[in-house]
Amino acid sequence: MNIRDENSHDWTAVYQVVTSAFGQSAEAKLVGELRDAGDSVISLVAEEDGQVVGHVLLSRMDAPFPALALAPVSVTPRRQRSGIGSALIKSAVDRARSEGWAAIFVLGDPNYYARFGFDRAAATGFTSVYAGQHFMVLNLAASLPATTGEVHHAPAFGALD
């Protein structure tokens, strides 16, 4: 498996992977809208035998410090539960850390995302339309620059509400 930056030649394959992973096109449309709006910051694909089999996207957020949102993470159904999603997340987190981002927020299963260091308790001080038991943050530095404040996902997320 090879993980690399997404490019424009991948867009159709990414749309197909995301749609098949979620069983609907809403998340695939979100990827396109984030890309079109310039809010896509880190977009990686996983390739096997020249075929895109996974995708992860980190998008710009409005927060009290430089932060990204992790969503969506997608793996084609026939390759799910084989470590591709984990590899994509780890690669995206490493890239965000190396680029100097302070944190990544995610809305998802705490049992899954905790293995990457995402922390539900650390996110409780932040106000978000997604706040709740599935809202988590991953600190990418020695400590979060702030532990409270409002965080807003890119406007394209509003279509998923």
CA distance 52 to 47: 4
Q: Check residues 158 and 139 and name the one with the higher pLDDT.
A: 139
- C-alpha span between 67 and 135 (Å, rounded): 14
**Domains of the chain, each with CATH number or no CATH:** 2-160 (3.40.630.30)
Q: For a pLDDT cut of 70, what percent of the chain falls above it?
A: 99
Q: What is the mean pLDDT of residues 2-25?
A: 97
The predicted pLDDT at position 160 comes to 72
pLDDT at 161 > cutoff 60: no
**pLDDT for the residue numbered 131:** 94
Mean pLDDT value across the chain:
96
| pLDDT score for 26 | 95
Q: How confident is the model over 123-132, as pLDDT tens digits?
A: 999 999 999 9
Backbone angles phi, psi at 125, to 5 degrees: -80, -5
pLDDT digits (tens, 9 = 90+) for 21-76: 999 999 999 999 999 999 999 999 999 999 999 999 999 999 999 999 999 999 99
Find the mean pLDDT for residues 138-155: 95
- The answer to whether 127 touches 1, Cβ cutoff 8 Å, is no
- Please give the Cα distance from 159 to 85 (Å, whole number): 24
Residue 149: its pLDDT value, please?
97
